[in-house]
Amino acid sequence: MSGDLLVVGSVAIDAVETPFGREDEALGGSALYFTAAASLFAPVRLVAVVGEDFPTERVAFLAERGADLSGLVRAEGRTFRWKGRYGFDLNEAHTLETHLNVFEGFSPELAPAHRACPYVFLANIDPDLQQRVLDQVEDPRFVALDTMNFWIEGKRRSLLDAIARVDMVVLNEAEARMLAEEPNLVRAAQKILSWGPNGVVVKRGEYGAMYFADGHVFAAPAFPLEEVFDPTGAGDTFAGGMMGYLASTGNLEPDNIRRAIVFGSAMASFNVEDFSFRRLERLTYDEVASRYRQFKTLTEFEAEVG
């Protein structure tokens, strides 16, 4: 059963520097990248907070795609701002400045349309807020949660409580090991599964992604690109592609989750081709479908052995 997709997370204004360029006043944040990707697949309802300095007209393309931005609340003050730099190892961002601003007081209150969404993605926010959202949604069909090292270290108990209430955990390789306190990635994923979720997706940057569930392990590569300009938001874009596809199909069987992961990897590969979400803004579904087929060719091989 397909349906609307709710995302609750951050919207930010970033300053990003990579070896290939620099962008100030770049729009970003987990919820914005997620929505830019997921809206190509399914109706998305975004809940986040911005300040008086946020240029709303620059996200009008999301509404044109059918995304519901009524939950994008404008508060008095400045928008959450992040400044970071990447070296030639584009898998790791070096944070230079973080100013939470209005995001510091963010406390999501869901409207009836938000509460009724059958698919929910809790982006990288305080696990106490993630649980606040879970307390408000009405019997969702599928809920996924993202997190980061800051919450793993600072709010571990609350994060574990939130994980026990969701269907899938999405996090990167270092976070999986830190959360499980286990250096082996396979054992780390199995430990996280033992806490309650049905699936764990580990984002591995330029090495792709892995999916773990009871009796299932799946590895998808990253798409090989000659040019990468800005990896900011790639993980959130991946999640948006994956969750958007699941919401559009309504099929939560392991084989379809595998397809969703490949769609997520395809979306992330487009995101890194330009700064902010400019590539996602001009992206079409036909381009996504074409890259999905390229992924299939990339990973196809004969199973027989002699």
Please tell me which residue in 126, 146, 236, 274 is annotated as part of the active site: 236
Residue in 250, 73, 268 with CA at minimum distance from that of residue 170: 268
User: What count of Cα atoms within 13 Å lies in the side-chain half-sphere of residue 51?
Assistant: 16
Q: Is residue 89 among the annotated active site residues?
A: no
With H, G, I as helix, E, B as strand and everything else as coil, classify residue 298.
helix
Go through 283-303 and write b for each residue having 16 or more CB atoms within 10 A of its CB, e for each that does not.
beeeebeebbeebeeeeeeee
The β-bridge relationship of strands 12-18 and 21-28 is: antiparallel
Q: Are 46 and 10 in contact (CB under 8 A)?
A: no
Angle between helices 234-249 and 30-38 in degrees, nearest 10: 40
d(CA 21, CA 16): 8
- 267's CB contacts (< 8 A; 6+ apart) are 37, 40, 237, 238, 240, 241, 280, 288
Tell which residue, 83, 82, 86, has the closest CA to residue 18.
86
Q: What is the C-alpha separation between 269 and 208, in angstroms, rounded?
A: 10
Q: Which residues are catalytic, by number?
A: 236
